[in-house]
Amino acid sequence: MIPWAFFWNNLRLRPLRTLLTILSVAAAVAAVVSVLQATAATQIQLQSIHTTFDSPVAMEVIAADTSPFSPDDIPELAKQPGVAAVIPVFRVFTKAVAGGKDVRCLTTGTDLQQYRTIRDFTLQSGQMATNPGEVSLEASVADHLGVQPGSEIRIGARGLPWLLTMRVTGIYKLSAADSVEDTSAIITTLADASKLGRAPGKVNALQIVLHDRAEEAAVAERIRASLPRHLIVTKSASAGDLSRPTQAMIGVGLNVAALLSFVAAVFIVFNSFQMSVAERQRQLALMRIVGATVEQVRGSLYREAAFLGGIGTVLGIIPGMMGSSSLTHSMQEVMGFSNMVPVATQPHAVLAGLLFGPLVTLLSVWYPARAACDVEPLVALKSTHSNRQHFSRKVAAVAGVMSLLFAALMFTTTYFGIYADTASILAIAAVEVGGAFLLSELIKPCLWIYYRMIRCFFPVEAQLGHRQLIENFDRTALTVAVLFVVSAASVCVGNTTTSLTGNIQSWMDRTVTADYLLLASRPTVNMSDAESLPKELASRIENIPGIRMIDEITFTLASVNGTAGLLSVQLFDGYETLPIDLIDGVAADLPQRLRSGEALLGSVLANLLHVKPGDTVSVEVSGATHVVGVAGIIREYTAGGLMLQMDSVAARERFPLPSAHVYGIRADDSARSAVGEELKTVAREYGLIFQSLADLQELVRNLVSGITNRLFLILILALVIAAFAIVNSQTMNVIEQSRHLGMLRIVGMLQSQAFRMFLFQSLILGMLGIVPGIMIGVLMSFLTILSFQGVTDHGVEFVADARLLAAYLVCGLLLSLFAAALPAIRAARLKPLEAIHEE
């Protein structure tokens, strides 16, 4: 066994190299842990939403005109075969007031014991309301009002001439889903809620839970047959279905990010150990000459790798967890979660980091250790270069081609829908790995081009730097590969995100064209739970001078060919340009087709049902079923794209629909601001929400710029980690070229020339890795968006964000220069005489 002193001295006497290696492992482990933890946290949030949306309530009995009704009308409902429970609820939009503050929220009155079987919430303090005059508040509502259990609050509802004073008995925490819905915030007794709704003793829905094996359609049919005429059965809790496409898309995005960060981390660690071993080839050769066996030399390197990998892993776990918190926070902002379920540290993320560090470290040292020992010791000792171990370019080319073939196979698999999610992600990663392997074939021609470009400015430095990069081709190729992999991964994630946000922004611009919006309740994820506007409001605002058009928009849940969807109806007739983002269909024919009762389908719904313009679908709303023609396919993000749009007049002729939920108001240009002021007054008068188009656009702009800024920060962080590769490579160049640098300094190379020579090399390395990285990253982004199509059919348009790409290139090249600064200074400060005597 090689003495421990050798191993220890190697670390002690090369502090910079030791530090760089540890930092590389730590950065890689941190990246893996943070992405896995953030991915897990986001998946848990999504799962939580999904679980809540997919509550055990299979269907609801409501009045056809959504008015309250007496549960006594259907006393036998609970005895129907297949029905496990019937839970009466009264939901009413209310305003809660306490201590001079107020908040608008949904109040649900129910039998709490039964309600707990279908909704998940935890009690933070006090106890849930069970007696008349008591309420339980959701934590954020209680915080906003500044109340505690025991406090009194006053609650009012529209049409109720007075406020009810009630006592707060408990504060509970909702699951993430409810916080996204941002509605069901007060729970009280059925009696009090029905009082608030001006229908004492009545309910406005009976929620039905089925036995496990009950056949939903058959039970619904039996219930429907037993109901009095004014009541209908409607499918409940389809919000889970509506959010599924969005969740699937986010899932693909997160998994792509996780896999790409893993690939980048492997390259970074491998690069580090390759350099670390390569710079000691002479020393290792000497060890063998004096009697160390190949096994002893390799063992010593493995021992060192295990030690450094262990320290790097431990150091990487903590920043990884911190990074994950920042990433999770970003996801929270991106997805609009106002109240995340606290996610504990995920053991699998920490375990993956703990395994990743040592395993990848040992695998990374395996190849250079083997290669170092394959060289005859005398050859290694006599050579002035450590460039004695050569990656086989043939092997790299074969590996590259194999990766691309694998990618093609995975894409084919995705195309045929076999394990589409996993296959598409693997394909994207394979494109990246294949690109990294094949890149070495392009290095020489590209290097020549860049050299010709730069030599006009710094001929000497360019010539010498160029030669050195060619001479140390393996090192150049490896450094370039790391930069390439990180750049490709970053650009893929970055460009995909900006494509998505850009698409959402453009969709908003096309679909929301009213100058002002009036809403009865805050918009939710799927709009299916919205409150109707007062019926008399239309005539009130029609009289405001300067109003050009009032569009009445109504949302309701629908079943389209048996698939849950959201039906949105509005007055298309009033628009010169329809407020839709049409993907497929003839725009000119649409007004006529919509008037005749045809519908526009969201692309996700259309693809799910395999329908196209000209086809028909069967639409069921509140028990009424009609066959509806498909006029066109539109890009829609509301309700995860499971959206159906119809003209208001035509839809109301066919289906029982509640009154409008949103008014979209357009004003004459000259009267726009006056109309806005008047509408604000109306909103205050009726307790409505007023939004101007400018506010909405500003909101979206801020959201998009917030996402973009945070994203760019993450990309720059990734580049900083990648810059380790340049520091590694250039430090290695300086160490190895010390002798020649010394000679160059003696024959007249200035310190500034030596400095510039290394800067030039770094700039070239940056260009060699980052430029193709950006190009392949854009391709991968395109493929990721194609994968989204496979998963969700959102109809997301791919856009190469030139601003993002240019900014990434400039930052990447600047960081490349910055990373070279330390080695370059070291090179410039070398003492010529000491340098020429270095071995």
Partner 1 sequence: MTLSMNSPDKIIRADCISKVFVHEGVEIRPFHNVSLEIRRGEMLAIMGPSGSGKSTLLHVLGGIEPPSSGDIWIEGHNVAKLSDRDRTLLRRRRIGFIFQSFNLVPTLTVSENVALPLILDGVASRDAASRALASLQRVGLSDRLSHLPTQLSGGEQQRVAIARALVIKPALVLADEPTGNLDSARGRDITLMLRDVAHENHQTVVVVTHDLRVASHADRLIVLLDGRVTYNGKPGTDAELVAALKQEIDV
Question: Which residues inside 118-157 make contact with partner 1, applying CB under 8 A?
Answer: none
Residues 469 to 488 in contact with partner 1, rule: CB under 8 A: 470-471
Among 739, 799, 807, 813, binds partner 1 (CB under 8 A): 739
Count of Cβ atoms closer than 10 Å to residue 408 Cβ = 14
Q: Which is nearer to partner 1, 228 or 748 (CB)?
A: 748
The three-state secondary structure class of 518 is strand
State the nearest-atom distance from the C-beta of 735 to partner 1, in Å.
16
Cβ neighbour number for residue 720 with a 10 Å cutoff: 15
The minimum distance between CB 746 and partner 1, in angstroms, equals 5
Residue 464: CB minimum distance to partner 1, A: 8
Closer Cβ to partner 1, 604 or 749, answer by number: 749
Return the H-helix or E-strand segment holding 405: helix 393-415
Shortest CB 443 distance to partner 1, Å:
16
Conformational region of residue 614, where left means phi above 0, alpha means psi within -120 to 50, and beta covers everything else: left
The rounded distance, in Å, linking the Cα atoms of 686 and 682 is: 6
Per the CB < 8 A criterion, the answer to whether 223 and 233 are in contact is: yes
> What are the DSSP calls for 76-109, one per residue?
TGGGSTTEEEEEEEEEEEEEEEETTEEEEEEEEE
For 585, the 3-state DSSP assignment is coil
Shortest reach from residue 748's CB to partner 1, in Å? 2
Task: Check: CB of residue 73 under 8 Å from CB of residue 393.
Answer: no
The residue among 141, 136, 168, 173 whose CA lies nearest residue 152 is 168
User: With CB under 8 A as the contact rule, which of the stretches 73-81, 115-123, 728-736, 737-745 interacts with partner 1?
Assistant: 737-745
What tokens were used for 574?
């009033």
Stated as kind and residue range, the H or E segment containing 682 is helix 672-686
Nearer to partner 1, 243 or 468 (CB): 468
Is 740 a binder of partner 1 (CB under 8 A)?
yes
The minimum distance between CB 458 and partner 1, in angstroms, equals 11
- Nearest-approach distance from CB 399 to partner 1, in angstroms: 28
- Do 830 and 742 form a contact (C-beta atoms < 8 A)? yes
Shorter beta-carbon distance to partner 1: residue 470 or 649: 470
Q: Minimal distance in Å, beta carbon 836 to partner 1? A: 6
The CB-of-755 to partner 1 minimum distance in angstroms stands at: 12
Q: Are 599 and 536 in contact (CB under 8 A)?
A: no
Choose the binding region for partner 1 from 113-121, 149-157, 316-324, 829-837 (rule: CB under 8 A). 829-837
Q: How far is the CB of 328 from partner 1 (least distance, A)?
A: 49
Are 522 and 104 in contact by the 8 Å Cβ rule? The answer is yes
CA distance 633 to 617: 13
Report in angstroms how near the CB of residue 408 gets to partner 1 at its nearest: 40
- Residue type for 44, please? I
CB-wise, 726 or 754, nearer to partner 1?
Answer: 754
Q: Three-state SS for 545?
A: coil
Select the span of 202-210, 369-377, 438-446, 830-838 touching partner 1 (CB under 8 A).
830-838
Q: How far apart are CA 472 and CA 389, in angstroms?
A: 10
The total of other beta-carbon atoms located within 10 Å of residue 54's CB is 16
- Give the span between the Cα atoms of 629 and 327, in whole angstroms: 44
User: Using CB under 8 A as the criterion, what x/- string covers residues 742-781 for binding partner 1?
Assistant: xxxxxxxxxx-x----------------------------
The CB-of-747 to partner 1 minimum distance in angstroms stands at: 5
User: Closer to partner 1 at the Cβ: 348 or 467?
Assistant: 467
Cα dist from 576 to 269, 396, 579, 616, 635, whole Å: 59, 59, 9, 26, 19
Tell me whether strands 164-174 and 134-138 are parallel, antiparallel or unpaired. parallel
Residue tagged 């109806």 (tokens) = 569
**Residue number, 813 or 836, with CB nearest to partner 1:** 836
Using CB under 8 A, which residues numbered 366 to 425 contact partner 1? 384-385
- CB closer to partner 1, 689 vs 836: 836
Are 621 and 657 within 8 A, CB to CB? yes
Alpha carbon 367 to chain centroid, angstroms: 36
Residue with tokens 């640098």: 741
Window contacting partner 1 (CB under 8 A); options: 337-345, 594-602, 797-805, 828-836: 828-836
Nearest CA to 514 out of 374, 642, 695 is that of 695
What's the CA gap between 631 and 554, in Å, rounded?
19
Q: Which residue has the tokens 């946000």?
A: 501
Q: Tell me whether residue 591 or residue 832 sits nearer to partner 1 (CB atom).
A: 832
- Nearest residue (CB) to partner 1, 320 versus 465: 465
Beta bridge partners of 807: none
**Pattern of binders to partner 1 over 432-471, x per CB under 8 A?**
---------------------------xx--x---xx-xx
Choose between 67 and 384: whose C-beta lies nearer to partner 1: 384
The secondary structure element, H or E, covering residue 216 is: helix 216-226
**Which residue number, 212 or 839, has a Cβ lying nearer to partner 1?**
839
Rounded to a whole number of angstroms, the minimum distance from the CB of residue 387 to partner 1 is 10
Contact 729, 482 (CB under 8 A): no
**Count residues contacting partner 1 (CB under 8 A)?**
26
Residue with Cβ nearer partner 1 (218 or 750): 750
* Amino acid, single-letter form, for residue 51: T
Q: Considering beta carbons, is residue 471 or 573 the nearer one to partner 1?
A: 471
Q: Considering the complex, state which of residue 259 and residue 462 has its C-beta at the smaller distance from partner 1.
A: 462
* Residue 744 Cβ vs partner 1, minimum distance, rounded to whole Å: 7
Nearest to partner 1 of 419, 457 (CB atom): 457
Minimum CB separation of residue 751 from partner 1 in Å reads 7
Burial class (CB within 10 angstroms; exposed 0-12, middle 13-18, buried 19+) of 32: buried
Contact in structure between 808 and 490 (CB atoms under 8 Å)? yes
Shortest CB 279 distance to partner 1, Å: 17
Q: Helix or strand or coil: residue 658?
A: coil
CB of 757 to partner 1, least distance (A): 11
Angle between helices 440-454 and 420-438 (to 10 degrees): 50
Is residue 708 classed as helix, strand or coil in its secondary structure? helix
How far apart (Å, rounded) are the C-alpha atoms in residues 23 and 222?
67
Task: Give dist(CA 91, CA 196) in Å, integer.
Answer: 9
Residue 383 CB, shortest distance to partner 1, in Å, is 9
Stretch of residues binding partner 1 (CB under 8 A), selected from 159-167, 204-212, 344-352, 735-743 = 735-743
Footprint of partner 1 (CB under 8 A)? 384-385, 459-460, 463, 467-468, 470-471, 739-740, 742-751, 753, 831-833, 836
